[in-house]
Amino acid sequence: MQYIPNILFILVLVAGIGYFTKNVRKVIRNIRLGKDVDRSDNKGERFKNMARIALGQSKMVRRPVAGILHIVVYLGFIIINIEVLEIIIDGVFGTHRIFAFLGGLYDFLIGSFEILAFLVFIGVVLFWIRRNVIKLKRFWNPEMKGWPKNDGNLILYFEMVLMTLFLVMNASDLQLQALGADHYIKAGAYPISQYISPLFNGMSETALIVLERACWWVHIIGILVFLNYLYFSKHLHILLAFPNTYYGDLNPKGELDNLEAVTKEVQLMMDPSADPFAAPADDQQEGEPEKFGASDVADLNWVQLLNAYTCTECGRCTSECPANQTGKKLSPRKIMMDTRDRLKEVGDNIDKNGSFVDDGKQLLNDYITPEELWACTSCNACVETCPVSISPLSIIIDMRRYLVMEQSAAPSDLNNMMTNIENNGAPWPFNQMDRLNWSNE
């Protein structure tokens, strides 16, 4: 009978991690629905980017208030995980504070965790105030209504509760240590919970044990629930920020990718010896010609889909976007959210039907409208400001490509511009033969 808690704990742990793993696999499978793009080059530079941007939070601190608060929560998150390791070992083997043998180092560790937990709590409260009391504009854009707003707050509540449980657990442990309760060895330093502990003065040993155990269990179960919540929320960035910054575009921001399918067609068109009626070579399958641009998530490449899962809806891109600032519908954050939501929908469709069954929907029109796409000035402000190397611009361009090359659906002004380029080599209706007239005007 004495092993029931251990067994229960192992079951909870396996279930929590198992369900999470299952969902992570779905994320990976969904990302792989994207087209191939080679990002296996320049490993050194890529590692450096990951270290600087994700690990070092270099772009977060460009906005100092949010940046520093974020670093506090981020450091807390990473370092407090060492404590989770102890909790897991204790849970599996029925021990209590297994690392206590570390002595002074243990005191230092527990003391640091407490201070970090307290700072995380304060940071998260300030984040909540920024969202709900100060109402920073970027958290109240149209795309943030409903679930995205609740999702953001829910994550903050989660963290507040987890930090509180951790500190209350330590506070009751401290009381039990003072009472000399069985099992509760004297260990650790408690710079924060020593101020919570007096609240429990006079409680019986049994009540304290119930409190301590309750906090311990709810805390670890809470962590597992939070882990599994990631998949359903915008919060996956805590994991995906690392691969996303690693696989980010290393080319100058002004460089748009080259569509090789088009290059082949253009070469054929420009080659005077090419026979337009020639039978396709043996290695070329005659089938559906390649689709130009993107109208749905599977037309995007896997890095763009990874971008979508990584976005945590901070909205820095949208707040820097010149189109958005001047009241246009375009919001780069919404481009990323729509891409992710559609990708999830496609993934769920595959889960349900075994393979994708046409649902009569696509990313274009059902999620992202041409009006949004045509408002972009391709200024790269969104790309420059993203703290985790996401490029909303690359998705916008791919969708414009579909609109123009597959649907001939450019705004009429742009059609005029393109007709001019085709006919006379300039976006305006001037004759190419007049190109040097300026020199003697």
Partner 1 sequence: MSETVKVPTMAEYMAEGKKPEVLFWVGCAGSFDDRAKKITKAFVKLLHNANVDFAVLGTEESCTGDPAKRAGNEFLFQMQAVTNIEVMNAYEIKKVVTACPHCFNTLKNEYPVLGGDYEVMHHTQFLKSLLDEGRLKVEGGKFKGKRITFHDPCYLGRANNVYEAPRDLLRKLEVELVEMKRCKRNGLCCGAGGAQMFKEPEPGNKDINVERTEDALETKPDIIAAGCPFCNTMMTDGVKSKEKEESIQVMDVAELIANAQDL
List contacts with partner 1 (CB under 8 A).
251-256, 258-259, 262-263, 265-267, 269-270, 292-293, 320, 322-323, 325-330, 371, 374-381, 383-385, 397, 399-405, 410-411, 413-414, 416-418, 421-422, 425-428, 430, 432-441
Q: What is the DSSP code string of 301-336?
A: BHHHHHHHHH-----HHHHH-HHHHTT-S--HHHHH
Q: Which is nearer to partner 1, 133 or 269 (CB)?
A: 269
What would the two tokens of residue 207 be? Answer: 């009540």
CB of 216 to partner 1, least distance (A): 47
CB of 392 to partner 1, least distance (A): 13
CB of 63 to partner 1, least distance (A): 11
Nearest CA-CA partner of 37 in 284, 294, 378: 294
CB of 341 to partner 1, least distance (A): 23
**Rounded to whole angstroms, how far apart are CA atoms 195 and 139?**
35
CB of 378 to partner 1, least distance (A): 3
CB of 262 to partner 1, least distance (A): 5
CB of 26 to partner 1, least distance (A): 32
CB of 431 to partner 1, least distance (A): 9
Q: Which is nearer to partner 1, 98 or 414 (CB)?
A: 414
CA distances from 433 to 299, 418, 421, 425 (A): 41, 18, 14, 10
CB of 59 to partner 1, least distance (A): 11
The identity of residue 48, as a single letter, is K
Asked if residue 384 lies in contact with residue 59, where contact means CB atoms within 8 angstroms, the answer is no
Q: Which is nearer to partner 1, 115 or 414 (CB)?
A: 414
Nearest CA-CA partner of 388 in 231, 230, 227, 248: 248
Nearest CA-CA partner of 126 in 113, 115, 136: 136
Nearest CA-CA partner of 113 in 170, 69, 50: 170
Query: How many Cα neighbours within 13 Å face the side chain of 306?
Result: 23
Asked if residue 46 lies in contact with residue 389, where contact means CB atoms within 8 angstroms, the answer is no
**Rounded to whole angstroms, how far apart are CA atoms 210 and 212?**
6
CB of 324 to partner 1, least distance (A): 9
CB of 393 to partner 1, least distance (A): 9
CB of 332 to partner 1, least distance (A): 13
Q: Which is nearer to partner 1, 220 or 330 (CB)?
A: 330
Q: Which is nearer to partner 1, 337 or 403 (CB)?
A: 403
**Rounded to whole angstroms, how far apart are CA atoms 208 and 196?**
13
Beta bridge partners of 364: 368
Nearest CA-CA partner of 102 in 94, 114, 110: 110
Task: Provide CB contacts within 8 A for 43, sequence distance 6+.
Answer: none
Q: Which is nearer to partner 1, 59 or 235 (CB)?
A: 59
The number of angstroms, rounded, from the C-alpha of 297 to the middle of its chain's C-alpha atoms is 17
Q: Which is nearer to partner 1, 101 or 430 (CB)?
A: 430
Asked if residue 395 lies in contact with residue 294, where contact means CB atoms within 8 angstroms, the answer is yes
Q: Which is nearer to partner 1, 96 or 291 (CB)?
A: 291
Nearest CA-CA partner of 189 in 84, 74, 102: 102
Q: Which is nearer to partner 1, 288 or 441 (CB)?
A: 441
Query: Hunting for tokens 């953001």 — which residue is that?
Result: 152
Q: Which is nearer to partner 1, 288 or 413 (CB)?
A: 413
CA distances from 155 to 75, 118, 137, 296 (A): 17, 17, 19, 30
Q: Which is nearer to partner 1, 222 or 387 (CB)?
A: 387
Q: Which is nearer to partner 1, 161 or 259 (CB)?
A: 259
